[in-house]
Structures are given as structure tokens and as C-alpha cells.
Structure 1
Amino acid sequence: MRMFQLLRLAAQAEALRWKRTGRGYAIQAGLGAAAAIFFLLLMVMLHVAALIWLARGRDPAVAALIVAGVDLVLVALLGWLAARHAEDPVAVEATRVRDDALRQVGDTTARAAMVLPLLRSQSAKKGMIGAALTAAVIGLVARR
């Protein structure tokens, strides 16, 4: 019974991890799209205002180069912010719970595999050898 509870717990933890990870990506995409729209509108207004202001005392080409330099700095800053990715602590904990539950399932299965040949065997000697071989195989498989 405990093995099924552990498998159910591992499945629930995995589902929670996927749900939280997907939620995080959806929120990031929505915020990124909204930021991009407002950024474009802001840049248009700033370009117009900056060109009008800078063109008063300078050559219009120099004013355009100054605005382009400011754009380059803003693009670098926003690109750096978009590239950052923080892990969701709930998703990290769900991964840990899943891994622990699956490890415990492997341990429980190895113990059951070791005891079952003893119960089925007519001879204790044959049962011990079968149990040892089965436990070794299950232990090797569980660690991979």
C-alpha cells in the first residue's frame, strides 16, 4: 500500500511542478508582450520629443545619432532583464518531493523483491540465493 501512496505522491508532485513551470512561462510571456508594446509606444514618443528638442541647437543628423545611442543602451538593458530567469521555489520543492518519493518506491520494491523469493521457495538456501540475486538486480536498475 505504501508504494502506491509514494507513486501517487510522486505523480502529484510532478503535476504540480509542470503546472507551476507552465504558469511561470505564461506569466513571463504575457508580461514580456505587454512590456514590448508599451516600450514601442514609449520609444516613438521619446524619439519624436528628443529629435525636436535636440534639433533646435544642433544638426538634425547629430540629434538622430544621440537618440540612437540612447536606444542602444535601452535595448541592452531590456535584453539583459528579459534573459534573467529565476526558478520557482514551489517547482523546486515539488521536484525534490518527486525524487524522494521515487527513491522510496525503489527501496520498497527492492525489499519486496528480496522477500518474495524467500516466501515462494521450498528450500531456504535456494530462497536466499534467489533473494540476493533479485535484490542486486533491482538495486542496479533503481539506481539508473
Structure 2
Amino acid sequence: MISLLRLAAQAEALRWKRTGRGVAIQAALGAGAAVFGLMLLIMLHVAALIWLAQGRNGAVAALIVAAVDLVIAAVLGWLAARHAEDPIQVEAQRVRDDALKQVGDTASRAMMLAPLLRSRNTKKGLIGAAVTAAVIGFIAKR
């Protein structure tokens, strides 16, 4: 039972580690999208200033750069917004859940046999074990 609890704890630690990794990647991509979004605003302002100040040659170049920034910001924003499940995180969660279920099953078996082992009267011990098994079965179904 202790090895199952240790396995569950290791699986939970791996799951949290992978969850943190995913959040960090999303935050970095979001920060990249924010940087390019800020650059887009700066370039749009520069483009408007150049366009108002002189001919269209400088403004066209600035607008092209701003369009590229817009595309990059959109791609990075889309990557940051999507939520792809990490298969290792999902597997670690499944291992943790299975280990905890096995610990619960082992503990319930031990609790079910306890009245039988404690009782000096076999009939009374069997009734106690049956009642304990029924209660544990009812609780496990919830």
C-alpha cells in the first residue's frame, strides 16, 4: 500500500510539473504576442506620421512591416490561446488515479476483514464483515 501511495505521489508531482511547463509556455507565447502587438501599434503610428508628413514611399514600407507584425502577433496569440493536452500529464494523472483507487480497494478489504479477525464469535464476525463491506461498497459508489 505504501508503494502505491508513493507511486501516486510521484505521478501527481509529474502531473503538476507538466502542468506548470504548459502554463509557462503559454505565458511566453502570450508575452511574444504582446510584444509584437506593441510593435504593431508603434509601426502604425510611425506609418501614419510618415504618411501625413511626406509621400507614400516610407508609409508603404512601414505598413508592410506593420502587416507582418500583425500576422506574427495573430499567430503567437492563437498559439498562446489554444490548449493542447500534454499526453505525459494525462498519463501521470491516470497512474495517480489508478494507484489511489488500488489503495482504497486495499484499505477497504482490510477494513472488511477487521471485524472478522477481531471477533471471537464467527457468526458475529461474519455479520460485521458483511455490514462493513456493504457500507464501504455504498461509499465507493458515491
Give the gaps of 5 or more residues in structure 2.
none
Partner Cα distance (1:78, 1:106) in 2:
45
The number of residues matched between the two structures is 133
Task: Return the letter of the residue paired with 1:85.
Answer: H
Partner Cα distance (2:113, 2:91) in 1:
33
Alpha-carbon spacing, 1:27–1:95, altered in 2? closer, same or farther (3 Å): same
Residue identity (%):
70
Q: CA RMSD in A?
A: 3.3
In the other structure, the counterpart of 1:129 is 127
Partner Cα distance (2:140, 2:104) in 1:
6
**Counterpart selection for 2:90 from 72, 75, 92:** 92
**Counterpart selection for 2:33 from 26, 35, 38:** 35
TM superposition score normalised by structure 2: 0.73
Checking the alignment, whether the CA contact within 8 Å between 2:29 and 2:79 is kept in structure 1 is no
State the Cα distance separating 1:48 from its structure 2 match.
3.8
Give the gaps of 5 or more residues in structure 1.
none
Task: Return the letter of the residue paired with 1:94.
Answer: A
Q: Which deviations, in whole Å up to 9, do the C-alpha atoms of 1:72-104 show, x marking residues without a partner?
A: x75766544432110111110011001101111
**Counterpart selection for 1:102 from 91, 100, 103:** 100
Instruction: Report the more deviating stretch, 11-20 or 42-51.
Output: 42-51
Partner Cα distance (2:122, 2:140) in 1:
26
